[in-house]
Amino acid sequence: MMKRIHILLIGVLFSLAASAQGPKREFRGAWIQTVNRQFEGMTTDYMQKTLTAQLDSLQKGGINAVMFQVRPEADALYYSEIEPWSRFLTGTQGQAPSPYWDPLQFMIVQCHRRGMELHAWLNPYRVKTKTSTNLVSNHLYFREPERFFVYDNMIFFNPGIEKNRQFICKIAADITRRYDVDGIHIDDYFYPYPVKGEAIPDEETFRANDMGLKNIEDWRRYNVDLLVKELHDSIVAVKPWVKFGVSPFGIYRNKKSDPMNGSDTNGLQNYDELYADILLWINKGWVDYSVPQLYWEIGHKAADYNVLVDWWAKHASARPLFIGMDIERTVKNPDPSNPNRNQQIAKYRLMRSYPQIQGSCQWYAKLFVDNIANYRSLMQEVYHRNIALQPLFLFKDATPPAEVTKLMPVKMKEDGMVLCWTPPAYEGEMDKPVKYVVYRFNEGEEINLNNSENIYTVTKIPFAPLEVYNGKKKFVFVVTALDRLNNESLPAKVAVKL
């Protein structure tokens, strides 16, 4: 059976190879969650080895951004003077890891070393999940219980209280200030997912400060709108290059609720049940990117992947749009046009057919690493076969860094030939070169920097080892600099015989 699967995979790879050239710029993310307890109680050494192995596999599979969950329930998988250490790290909330280490700082270093972005993933409102045991004795919940409510046996910050918005923004600004993150990322949990027969206990808060709104549902949406805008502003005020992104539930509204803007679906709605007006945030520029969780399969009766990809592409591309992909559902469901294979090929073919969609994010990283149903293999050999740079965020910064100088090959005694250059000078942090793209062309070949197949490597350091042939083969190498928002400098080039 395994031999037959392997032969089928080779056939698929061969048939797709001709059209496999991916875009030069594409967001290729993966979520590493901690709330699922996959790391809880691990020793420092073992967790570091586990994360390192995951990152190695993700890099091999072409992933260029990691969403690492560092605040699953008003706690911290990083050093914080504001919130307690997470139980999802040590097993006990408030207990520091021993031997001491800082998972967020570790992940930033490891991701950047591999050319990946690191987005710190926060859950804004959740304080206690159903599986949580005791909160640490000095938790804010015990000091100021009036700022929280209990719903479905979970504890949440009350979004209607201004002090809570200020506190959550303080957390995001603190992380942004102290860590070299590329992004701050929030997920789909705003007001709690509804439970039949249980009302959200915020009527008293609404009556005390309705902000001029007569409808409690409009008031709840306004509360979340304020948080999103203030989060964005808090992050930008500290480091304007750090991206703020949201990964909403996959349905904005159903057509029966909103014939003009709704999708042809029949499921839970961001706007109506979670009080999250995603389109408002995108169109107002309060988020820098969105990653809707389109976890359903093609042909799902209530929420068809095909329908939702089309809807998001047409309604939500005022800011960079990436698609959240559920690996397990993708590989467990057959392709309607070819029942002998799963839906991975069909989903990616559809997603890449929309120019408004600039990438994807994998739910979740561990399944990608485990390569279930050869999912990672297909990404590595086809859809992520070539290196991709991150999409541009021209509304944040459109000025490229200056070009590199003194580009030349240098012969090293032990390391063979190395391509070296001098980094460009810069005045401000926004113009600072942080990575370099090295392109390689055969002698006489057209210099085309738009074709991802010509990217030889991307590196953080101002040199790159070169593959040596017979000493007679001639190439042209081109080097460009990238700033923090991946704006690309003018090229420098040099001819090299290898």
Give the model confidence (pLDDT) of 401-415 as tens digits: 999 999 999 988 776
3-class SS at 215?
coil
CA angle 327–328–331, rounded 5-degree value: 85
Q: What is the pLDDT of residue 61?
A: 98
Closest CA to 55 of 123, 106, 121: 106
Q: Place 1 in a pLDDT band, splitting at 50, 70 and 90.
A: very low
Dist CA 171 CA 80 (whole Å): 9
C-alpha to C-alpha distance for 193 and 293, rounded to whole angstroms: 15
Q: pLDDT of 215-225, one tens digit each?
A: 999 999 999 99
Confidence band, pLDDT 50/70/90 cuts, at residue 131: confident
Q: Give the pLDDT confidence score for residue 415 in this predicted structure.
A: 64
Q: What is the pLDDT of residue 471?
A: 78
Distance CA 296, CA 301 (A): 10
* Residue type at 318 in one-letter notation: A
Q: How confident is the model at residue 132 (pLDDT cuts 50, 70, 90)?
A: confident
Q: Which residue has the higher pLDDT, 130 or 232?
A: 232
Residue 313 has pLDDT above 90, yes or no: yes
* 186-203 pLDDT tens trace: 999 999 999 999 999 999
Overall average pLDDT of the 96-110 stretch: 97
β-pairing, 289-290 vs 243-246, is parallel
For the stretch 437-493, pLDDT in tens is: 999 999 999 999 999 999 999 999 999 999 888 778 999 999 999 999 999 999 999
Mean pLDDT on 82-89: 96
Place of tokens 């090293």: 412
Percentage with pLDDT > 90 across the chain: 92
Tens-place pLDDT, residues 147-164: 999 999 999 999 999 999
Written as one string, the DSSP assignment of 143-187 is H-GGGEEEETTEEEE-TT-HHHHHHHHHHHHHHHHHS--SEEEE-
3-state secondary structure of 272: helix
C-alpha of 32 from chain center: 10
Task: Identify the CA nearest to 110 among candidates 99, 97, 101.
Answer: 101
* Residue found under tokens 């056939």: 11
**What integer pLDDT is reported at residue 16 of this predicted model?**
56
Express each pLDDT in 250-307 by its tens digit.
999 999 999 999 999 999 999 999 999 999 999 999 999 999 999 999 999 999 999 9
Query: Where does residue 270 fall: left (phi above 0), alpha (psi -120 to 50 degrees), or beta otherwise?
Result: alpha
Domains of the chain: 22-383 (3.20.20.80), 405-497 (2.60.40.10)
- Please state, in angstroms and as integers, the Cα–Cα distance from residue 234 to each residue in 127, 197, 247, 395, following that order: 21, 37, 19, 17
pLDDT at 6 over 60: no
Tell me what pLDDT residue 14 has: 46
pTM equals 0.95
Residue 340: φ, ψ to 5°: -80, -5
Rounded distance, CA 356 to CA 321, Å? 7
pLDDT value, residue 49: 98
Burial 117-138 (b: 16+ CB within 10 A, else e): bbbbbbbbbbbbeeebeebbee
Instruction: State how far the Cα of 52 lies from the Cα of 46, in Å rounded to an integer.
Output: 10
CA dihedral sign of residues 314, 317, 322, 324? negative
Cβ-Cβ contacts under 8 Å for 119 (sequence gap 6 or more) = 29, 65, 66, 67, 68, 181, 182, 183, 184, 185, 243, 245
In this prediction, residue 20 has a pLDDT band, given cuts at 50, 70 and 90, of: low
pLDDT tens-digit readout, 414-445: 768 999 999 999 999 999 999 999 999 999 99
